[in-house]
Amino acid sequence: MRRILIMSLLGFIFTLQAQAFRWASDAQWIGSSDDDQCLYSPYLAAFRLSIQFRLGVHADEASIVWGADDERLLSADMNPFEVSHEKGQTWVKLVYRQIGDSATVNVYRKGYAPADDDAQPLAVFPVPRQSTSATRGFHHIVIASCLGDSKIYVDSVSVGTINLNPLGRGGDFIAFPVLGKVGFAVGEGQKAEVREFAVGNYRSPYGRIARIKELEGTYDGLTRIIDPSRHSMPLLRGYFNARGAVKKAELRITARGIYDVKLNGKAVNNSYLCPGYTQYNRTQPYQSYDVTEDLRQGNNQLDVQLAEGWWMGAATYEGQNWNYFGDRMSMKCQLDILYDDGHKQTFVSGPQDWKYTSQSPVVYGSLFQGEVYDARKENGEEEWEPCEVIGIKGHVSHEGWGNGPAPDDYSQLQYMETSSDDSVDSIATLTAIGMTEPRRGVYVYDMGQNMVGVPRLCFHNLKPGQRVKVRYAEVLYPNLPEYSGKQGMLMLENIRAAMAQDIYIARGGKEETFAPRYTTHGFRYMEITGVDTPLALEQVQGVVLSSAHCIQAHYECSDSLVNHLWRNILWSTRGNLLSIPTDCPQRNERLGWAGDLSVFSPTLVYLTNAQALLRRYLQSMRDVQHDNGRMPDIAPLGGGFGGFLWGSASITVPWEMYQQWADTLTLRQHYPAMHGYMEYVRTHYFDAKTGLLVQEHAWGDLSDWLSPVYAQDDKSLIWEAYYIHCLDIMAQAARVLNYTFDAATYGKTASERRRFFCETYLDKTTGRTIASAFMGEKRGSLVDTEVSYALPLAFDIVPLSLRSRLADNLLSVMNRENRMDNGRSAPPHSLLTGFIGTSWISRALSLSGHTDEAYRLLTQRQYPSWLYPVTQGATTIWERLNSYTSEDGFGGNNRMNSFNHYSFGAVGYWLMAHSLGIQRSPHHPGFKHFIWAPEADSTGKLTYAKGWYNTAYGRIESSWEIKGNKVIYCLTIPKGISATLIMPGTKSKILKAGSYRFSQYWRKS
């Protein structure tokens, strides 16, 4: 316990160092007033309607309307049912009907699905008698709708729940209904009075967004339906006076939401989505800018545009997390000026010096939903009001997500300055390579590459107020019978509840450009509607956004499909490093799933210098770690599912950083969290009777996720192998940090668990893997899957006497046909591992002396394999190896089917470390000294491979080429570092800086 307290104290000291800057006491969080919040009803899919009304003396019913005139239902091109209606023909309606002191609530839907019948209620809910006792008094109806799943309350009493989304319940579906147009109605000859009609937030603390006064008042046989949208994203403005010659001026700024800041009309930040994504109630990021050159003597003006970002709006695949961190955007800044004469001046954010307008051109800005931009509002005719202080109380929910912490706990808040190293920046610009018109007026542009970012569209001669819509998809519906009539249209089912739509409202003129800054999309295809004629290809560009600013590694070989695979790995790396490492960049998820990062991190640290980003991610992991040591499955936020293998990222990622970059600082800072997690696993995840690592016996305790043979594995075998791997890492990390007691303890436990693994999961005679008691009646039966051998081989779990048998068993599995869970047969040399095993399968083969099989696995073209998606047109790594096939289309996986998911790209490590042989030295982290152990392809499928890796000291270049019966190896070592040569048939030796060439006899295996 004393040791844990000391380590926690060290972590606290590092935290203090991270927040050395102190904000001025009068720097405040400021934003717009309660009455000027942005409401954009076509995009609002989680909301609460609150209506207070009373019926007239002789009236017996009144209706509340929402979801009316959803723009997607007005055109068959914009919705999955391909329905098309005139305005006034689509709505959801609640009818409150009262006769005497008996009442019902009837719910109707019209125009959403072909089977909708406006005369037949979807549901009838009786209203409890206590809610009808005051027959002619005011009633209060609340409709809480979350992606269509709607709860109805009458006078604070829940009367019923109904799912109004015709596609299905929850976040896995395109979201219907949105708030849309809303209204109130009574029939002819009936009267009612509406005292209040308000729109509020679905999530607690249920703050009001807007009061719709246009719908309040007396109704006499009247129907009123309006668009309640009002106000824009807040734009804040501050004026200050610089009194003298300026020597240095530094602006520090952050936001709850995201910001763009300008000084005297000039952009201060070029990066997107500032200040970035963290666990905001624990770690608030901010940026510092040197603005000396842009400051002028006399009057100066700071403008700060805010948008939702990760702070509020749609977040995660569950709609109840809308406004997860808070329901109000705000900004905090401090400008410190040092004058030539030595005196200082500080200008801070506060209501006394700042004003806001709720009529900025950025009508709405959401990461999931998209950006709406009204260029007509660029004329500078805004009305300005004094800013208000925006606090936490009353604006942040206490409800965490799943196993995540309460987001209103600010007791440990720290501010962290982040640098440009992990910012979201424009790293490339793509121009459309083709355009089709699958339906009249629907123009679909192909960017040629699945990318993450925003469009840059150049328009000519648009009319003032003309609305141009832009939608995004990774794939199109193919020409298969299942998708008849939809061929060539965007496939949006896998985007799910994210609206993913931008709207540009033109100011009118010869030329104007739309380039959103407050959203991102994952897409290859861009659909543009609302233009009179199609844009030329050069007018349609995609701005690629990423926190992976520079690629640090390269691989190339004689197989064009493998080269394409490498490019796909790079593009998925770019697309999924966006302030944090994400699982996917397009659907209503985009989360920091720890398991995905854990398996990909060995590849990631080669590809890009993500050190700053990973440090911040690990800070988020610590921020959401439970007091008992449990690590969440997702960071920031917490929540999710996955269990031990996902939480193990807190062990594997800092160790990868140490090995790749000699990052002892991060390892030391994170070690208390690592130790706490391992203690949690030890005390919570083992069955006392069997000794097995069993976790919680829940579905969400994942193992080799998305393996084609997932159901055939013994989960506990995989968990046990990874537990031993984590114990080894902890022992090594403890030695690095001179925690000798911990090193000995973890080492001893690892030895004990190795014995347990061999006794429990291996047949003593054959060395084949067998099921444990975790599998119940299957105990003792063969497991015999690729991952069950790959992990113990890669993690050096079995003794030398068993190693060759395990390797032979792995080869036996790989050289035969195997039955997959879907009932189909997988050909020999197939990739039958999921997220976990894929990271280790090739390494296990090479470490066992079977690199030839690793090359057969690499070059396999049939499903399941790495190259199969390439043959199907993939330009990024897919979530599933069969996300699309030319025979089966999307295989019924239209919804959970990301086409940009880096996990299966974990083979990138093997390409660098084994094929090219550029390996880290266990005794010299950071490539001051490295191991060169290239392995040419003895199968002859590849005839050459070459590439490089940029270390902190310079570029290492490696290559091999087969020429006749010889293989030629070449190496270039930059100045200041050295290498150990390890090559079969050659004596190991030390190589200093310089260029080398070796040749060996080669024979095809």
- Region of 173 please: left (phi>0), alpha (psi -120 to 50) or beta: beta
Looking only at the bridges linking them, the beta strands covering 414-417 and 283-290 are: parallel
Of 624, 750, 617, which Cα lies nearest the Cα of 678?
A: 750
Specify the long-range contacts of residues 683-687, CB closer than 8 Å, at least 24 apart. 684/628, 684/630, 685/644, 685/719
Contact indicator for 319, 147 with CB cutoff of 8 Å = yes
CA 288 to chain centre: 26
User: Where does 782-896 have alpha helices with state H?
Assistant: 786-794, 800-814, 835-838, 841-847, 851-859, 867-871
* DSSP three-state, residue 236: strand
| E strand intervals along 116-234 | 123-127, 139-146, 149-154, 157-163, 181-185, 191-201, 208-211, 217-220, 223-226
Quick count: other Cβ atoms within 10 Å of Cβ 970? 16
**Dihedral (CA of 377, 379, 385, 386) sign:** positive
Contact indicator for 818, 709 with CB cutoff of 8 Å = yes
Paired with 48 in beta bridges are 144, 200
The CA distance from 311 to 622, in Å, is 19
Q: Which residue has the tokens 């390439």?
A: 870
* Burial class, 342, CB count within 10 angstroms (exposed 0-12 / middle 13-18 / buried 19+): exposed
Of 692, 701, 718, 686, which Cα lies nearest the Cα of 783?
A: 718
Length of the chain in terms of residues written:
1005
Looking only at the bridges linking them, the beta strands covering 235-242 and 191-201 are: unpaired
Tokens of 246: 């300026």
Q: Spell 588-603 as b/e; 16+ CB within 10 A means b.
A: bbbbbbbbbbbbbbbb
Contact indicator for 763, 770 with CB cutoff of 8 Å = yes
Of 950, 961, 953, 962, which Cα lies nearest the Cα of 918?
A: 950
The CA distance from 874 to 864, in Å, is 14
* Burial class, 977, CB count within 10 angstroms (exposed 0-12 / middle 13-18 / buried 19+): buried
CA 191 to chain centre: 50
The CA distance from 422 to 235, in Å, is 26
Q: Which residue has the tokens 């706490």?
A: 676
Residues labelled catalytic? 589, 879
Contact indicator for 648, 702 with CB cutoff of 8 Å = no
